[in-house]
Structures are given as structure tokens and as C-alpha cells.
Chains A and B, each alone.
Chain A
């Protein structure tokens, strides 16, 4: 069953098209990463899902209900953490969390206090004294102290230190274990990689890739560092090998995932002294995509 269903959403701000006919869906019990560089349209998409912005075209549904018309109904079952958490300077963190729980309904006070401890947040301080990371913690505690079916998180960890990021990852994995769904936007690829079942990649308002990480890896290349007893002749021009570089007796190159087997068989004949293979990160995938689309753009222009 699909928790989120986005069908051909277009959003224009005046003449500027922030989102251009995007489609994707998130299944129940899944953690979906929503990835794109700054200004790609992640927050705009999320605000449409929250019924704050009205799509120019297309429909979006959460729990089968229309995100615009049934916003309040939907919101009773979701938790949201914005990317830039601005809070009321004259309220304490504790007051804000209580306020949020009240507005949302069915908050869990015991969970609230546990999370405060986990995130190491002092709720008696006024929000004006909180750093960016602490403001984010306020929003995270309020979000996870509610019993939601869907968590929508817009770059929630941009101000957290690595320790807190770990706590955050525990929180979403725990939510997943309970069968909840998570929609997590980020421009930091490694952070999404660790926890996501599915990724949706957006760039300049267009979805350029969706699927599981496994699905996408075939598109990309492993990075190999190799040292052999005798040099491998003609490796540079071997099919599937790219970005070949040689330094003393060490060579580095990239290899298409589907050609990996052949390449390794070939080089093993020359006596491997050292072999390092770095799996493709989402980052590589991303760069790769940029390059290819740039190439096609340029190709198209000629």
C-alpha cells in the first residue's frame, strides 16, 4: 500500500517552475530518502505534501486522502520536522514541545521525557538561547513523541553533531520497526544511504531517479585502486574502465559495475599485490548523473 502518492505535481511561483511534473510514491513501512542539492525543490514538495502550498497541477495523496483538502485529517497521523526550525524566543523548549503535542493530539508524555534525555536537551531554557542544533532537537522530540503513521523530515540533521545524528537514526529505525513510514529529505547523501530503503532523487524540480539503492548501483562504477607485480598492459582501454590514472606501480580507475567481474579476472593474471574497491556512494551516482545529463544537454545543443 502506498502511504504517499504524488501524481504529476507541478508548482509554479509566478513564472518560475519550482516543480515540474513530479511522480513518486512511498510504500508503507518504508524509509524513503528524498535527495537533491539545495534549491532542487525538496522543501517545496514537502510543503505541498503538508497542504501549505497548493500545487499548480497534479494531485498528491497521503493515506489515500488529498493533501490539500484533507490537510487537518492527514496531519493527525503525521509528524513533521522542518529544515530550518524557527521557534518562539520567549517560550522554553519544554513549553514548545508541549504546545506541539497538544496541537497534534495524542502525544506521549513518557516518550517526550525519554527523548529529551536521549537528545540531551534542556527543556527549561528559552528558545532564544538555543543553537540551531538544539532548536532542531526540540522539533525532533516533538515529532517522535507523537504516535504518527508517517514522519516527514526535511533535512532534519543539518545542525546535529554526529552523536546526535546517531540518536536520530535510531529513532527512525525504531519507527520503521513499528511499521511506520518515513519520508526523509537531505542533500547529504551518506546520511540517507545508511537508513533508506528507497531513494527519490530530485534536481531542478524534476525527479531524475527513483528506486532502491541496489537498483541504482548498476548505473554507477566502483572505484578501484590496484597494485600488481607486473603492469597490466592495455588496461586503460579495457571495456568498462574509465578515468584511468597511473602512479608508479599503482593504478586507480573506475569500472562499470556490470564489467567488474571481467576486469578483475583479467588483472588477477598479473599478480595482485593490493586491491581496494570502494563501492559507489550516492555521491558518485549523483556526480555521474550530472555528467551524463550535462553531456546529453550539450549533445542536444549541437
Chain B
């Protein structure tokens, strides 16, 4: 063994040097968010009734599937509420950190030939993998200890030093398990994408198994590592087995990793690289199918993200009337209107924010055409019998489709979770309308993107400045008392918030016409200009 290890220390230093920025950002974010939320919770849940109310809203299948089972203690401290809301998703974030960092340190280094360079130096055969596993160990130990230390400094009811370190250790041990899983796949798969892809698959399957298990049968949940992490009873029972178990399994996997690493060739793997298709599908050969295929992953990820985000907002609607009514900031924000319920006002405001977030993937879809040009890939297309108008139109149509999908998902996500929580449910039709009414405002952004691509290609990303402007107007416009003319420059200002306002067909029509006009100018410009690649 000895002769296999020289150089481990230097490689470890090299890895930390290379990744120091990513490592610090990840750790800082995870730890600071955890601590600041724990710090803020007593403000939100002031009394026992508040906590019981929270538990009641959480005790339904939808929420348990999302966040895990509710504590069955009689009088849980507020820290337990914090753990219930935060733990699972922080564990997932820690797992993602490990998958990305370890995936990079193992397979990506190997793929890019850096490992070959290292191995040509006087370092041992196992030095690199040892260094990577040490990296994982140090990373997750830091996460566990710093989170534990940070939490125990917070004066929130229910937090004790032991439970704080237990909380940190859950993050660390689950993180280490996923580091080991990633290292394992880095031995098995032949590419870094394969390795991280398989690791993410394990993470997602773990989440799904736990979700089903937590709703139907606990035994099923116990198959999933994420099922263990929500069963520590941290801040109440403080059980340590869910920390020991992933750690032990992580160590066993590490042993397998070492074995596999020793018997395989550099650059080799055990899972044969999947053969791709040798023929293009009929879908890919259509212009829209091509545009979709190029951005498939991105679109799907955003769709899921938008759905989850609005579902999460829907889930807190139940608390709204009870807990947030006396929150001054929110009151000012909503400019309390006695004609509508707080929920209605909150939902109306949510849709403005969610809509502008939906605009991000939509704008990304159109701008992709410029990205293709920058990467010298449009020349393949335009040197064939494809017109510029046709191609640009395909990107535009795809962006419009994506805008409709995003807004629909936003409405459905919000409606679905709020449905299981609210006494007075929102109507699906009204919710859908309230979301879809923002489409013309989003289309103005598509139009401006096309306009810039057509007339000022070098300034195409300037569309994000306008986007930022719209965002600021929405977020701070009222608060900072922007003058009307400035507010009116944002397309989102002209959309009626259907939950608290009447429909305004005229301004929607004008927005749509404006979008069409700008788009036409953009198309004309795009047909006339030089295509540089």
C-alpha cells in the first residue's frame, strides 16, 4: 500500500487550490443559510399555537412527500420546526455539492488529461483517488463541524450543542455518502457526464423513494439515504444512527472505489459508453424539433423548477392569514387593500414575481440563436437551404411555447399545493388566467431579444438589462416611489393583476401589438445583417 501513496499530500493541496472558490462558496452558502434561518425562526413562530398550526399544515400527504414526516412529539420546540422545513433540502444541497465537486476532481480531471500529467510525476497509483476521498472527508467534516458550531451559538428554543452537531453531522455524513457514490460512478462510467449523471439519478431516485415511503410505508423510506436523514428526530430525540449508517456505507463504497481504481486502466471504465443514435429522429429533423432538442434539458429543468417554486409558494399560503397578517413589511409591500383577502393580494403579487422569473428561460430560448452564431454553428444551417426568417421564427415560436408552458405550470403548481392547504380554495380557472395574462409582457421581452439580435447583435445580452430593470420596478418600484413614466417602461406594469384588478383587454392588446411590431423590425434587421459564424 505504502508505495502506492506518495504525492497524496501535494495532490490534495492541488485539488483544494483548484476548487477553493467553489468549495468556499458552497460551504459559506450552506452554513450561513442554515444559521440565519435557524436564527429567524423564533420570530416567525412565536407561540405554541403557531407551532401547532404549522404542524397541522404540514400533516398532509403533499407536504410530507415534499419535506418528510412530521415529528410526532407533543410539544415540539421551534428548532424542530426549523429542522423539518430545512433539513431535507439542505441535505440535498450538500449532496449536489459533493456530486459536482467530486465528479470534477475525479473523472473530469481524468477526461481532460490532467490526471495523466499527474501520474507521469513520481506519485503513486492510488495517490490521486486517496487525495480525492480525503477531499470529500475534509469537505464534509468542515460542513458538519461549522454548521454544528454555528447552530449551537443560535439561541433558538430546542437547540442544544448535541443536537446542533447532530444536525451538522447529518449534512456531513449524507454529503460524504454521495461523495463516495460519485467516486464509485467515476470508476464505473467512462465520462464525467456519465459519472455525475448517474450520481444525480441516485439522488433523485432516493428522493422519490423517500417521498413515496413517507406517505405510504416507512419501510420503503428506509431504503433511501434521504429517508434516513429525516428520521433523526434532531432537536427532540437526537438519534445518531442516521449519521452512522451513511458514514459506514460511504466507507464501504470507498473501499470498493479503491479496488476498482486499482484494477482499471486510466481513462477506462466498467460501464460501456452507451452507443448514441446513428440516425436522427424525425422530430430532430424538423426546425422546431431541432430548436427544442438543443435546449431540452434546460427547458425541462426550468419547468420543474418553476413548478416547484410556485408549489412551494402555494404551500405557505395556508400560513399567510394567520402568521403574516401582523408583519409590517409585508403589509407595506401589499399596500393593504380591504376589498381583497390577504391571500388574494399575496397571490396577485406572487404572479408578478413568478412571471418575471418565467421570462428568464423564455428569453434564454430566443437568445440561444445568437449563442449558436457565437459558437460558429449557424453557418452549418444557413449554408444549407434554410432561410434566416425560418430559423429565427422557429426560435421565436419555441420561446412562445415555453412562455405558455412556464406560466401554466406556475399556475398549476401554486393552485395544486394551495388546494390541499387552504380552506377557501382558489379557483383553477382564475389562477390560470392570472398567470397567462402576463404572457404579453413576457412576449415583449422575446420581441426585444429578437430586435437586438437583428439590429444590434453585439448588444444582444442587453436584453438582460431590460429584464433587470423590469425586476427592479416590480420589486422596488412602489417602495422607492418611482415616477409613473419610469414604471410604465416595464412591460409588466401594464398587466392587470387579476386577483385584485379587473381584466384590461386594451393594455394587453397594446402590449401584444407592440411585441409584434418590435419583432417584425427585429426580423427585418436579422435578414439584412452579417451572420458571423
Interface size class of B (residues with CB under 8 A): 20 to 34
A residues 198-212 touching B (CB-CB < 8 Å): none
A100 interface residue (CB < 8 Å to B): yes
Q: A124 vs B532: C-alpha distance in the bound complex, in angstroms?
A: 30
Q: Which residues of A contact B294 (CB under 8 A)?
A: 88, 90
A27 to B293, CA, bound (A): 41
Q: Which residues of B contact A91 (CB under 8 A)?
A: 280, 284, 293
A47 is contacted by which of B280, B284, B379 (Cβ under 8 Å)? B379
A52 touches B285 (CB 8 A): no
Cβ of B452 to closest chain A Cβ, rounded Å = 19
Instruction: From known contacts A92-B277, A123-B278, infer whether A103 and B377 are also in contact, taking CB-CB under 8 Å.
Output: no
The yes or no answer to B357 lying at the interface (CB within 8 A) is no
Interface presence of B275 (CB below 8 A) = yes
Interface segment among A72-80, A246-254, A256-264: the answer is A72-80
Per-residue interface assignment for chain B, residues 291 to 320, with 1 indicating a CB less than 8 Å from any chain A CB and 0 otherwise: 001100000000000000000000000000
Q: Which residue on chain A has the smallest CB distance to residue B528?
A: A54
* Segment with Cβ contacts to A, from B5-13, B82-90, B383-391: B383-391
CB of B222 within 8 A of chain A?
Answer: no
B381 at the interface (CB under 8 A from A): yes
B278 and A94 contacting across the interface, CB-CB below 8 Å: yes
A149 to chain B, nearest CB (A): 13
Whether B383 and A105, one on each chain, are in contact in the complex, defined by CB atoms closer than 8 angstroms, is: no
Q: Which of A50, A87, A99 contacts B280 (CB 8 A)?
A: A99
B376: CB under 8 A from chain A?
A: yes
Interface residues on chain A, number (Cβ under 8 Å): 38
- Report the nearest A residue to B286, measured CB to CB: A102
Give complex CA distance A96, B532 in Å: 21
Q: Assess the B530–A54 pair: CB atoms within 8 A.
A: yes
Q: Is B531 an interface residue (CB 8 A)?
A: yes
The reply to whether the CB of A156 lies closer than 8 angstroms to some CB of chain B is no
| B114 interface contact, C-beta 8 A | no
A87, B379: Cα distance in complex, Å: 11
User: How far does the alpha carbon of A123 sit from the alpha carbon of B279 in the complex, in Å?
Assistant: 8
Interface residue B338 (Cβ < 8 Å from any Cβ of A):
no
B382 close to A (CB within 8 Å): yes
Q: Which residues of chain B come closer than 8 Å to A72, judged between CB atoms?
A: 385-387
**A41, CB-defined interface residue at 8 Å:** no
Interface string of A89-127 (1 = CB under 8 A from B): 011101111111011110000000000000000011110
By the criterion CB–CB under 8 Å, are B285 and A102 in contact?
A: yes
**A99 pairs with B290, CB closer than 8 A:** yes
- In the complex, the answer to whether B278 meets A124 with C-beta atoms within 8 Å is yes
Looking at the assembled complex, report how far the CB atom of A63 sits from the nearest CB atom of chain B, in whole angstroms.
13
- Which residue of chain A lies nearest to B190 when distances are taken between CB atoms in the complex? A129
Residues of A within 8 A of B17 (CB): none
Assuming the A-B contacts A95-B284, A99-B284, A139-B380, are A104 and B278 also in contact, with contact meaning beta carbons closer than 8 angstroms in the complex? no
Whether B387 lies near A86 (C-beta < 8 A) is: no
Closest partner residue, chain A, to B193 (CB atom): A128
Quote the shortest CB–CB distance from A53 to chain B (angstroms): 5
B382 to chain A, nearest CB (A): 6
Chain B residues contacting A71 (CB-CB under 8 Å) are 382, 387
Within 8 A of A (CB), among B363-405: 375-377, 379-387
Please tell me if the beta carbons of A50 and B379 are within 8 angstroms of each other in the complex.
yes
- The interface residues of chain A lying within 8 Å CB-to-CB of B276 are 92, 94-95, 124-126
A146: nearest residue on chain B (CB-CB)? B384
Does A37 sit within 8 A of B, measured CB to CB? no
CA distance A94 to B292 in the complex (A): 18
- Please, which residue of chain A has its CB at the minimum distance from the CB of B383? A80
> Which of A47, A90, A105, A129 is in CB contact (< 8 Å) with B385?
A105
A98 near B531: Cβ-Cβ < 8 Å: no
A selection of 8 A-B contacts at a CB cut-off of 8 Å is A71-B382, A72-B387, A75-B386, A92-B276, A96-B280, A103-B385, A103-B386, A123-B278
Known pairs A71-B382, A87-B377 / 10 extra A-B pairs, C-beta < 8 Å: A50-B382, A52-B383, A53-B530, A54-B528, A82-B380, A86-B377, A88-B294, A94-B280, A99-B280, A124-B277
A positions within 8 Å CB-CB of B: 47, 50-54, 71-72, 75-76, 78, 80, 82, 84, 86-88, 90-92, 94-100, 102-105, 123-126, 129, 139, 152
The 8 tightest CB contacts between A and B, nearest first, are: A98-B280, A92-B276, A94-B278, A80-B383, A103-B384, A52-B531, A95-B280, A102-B285
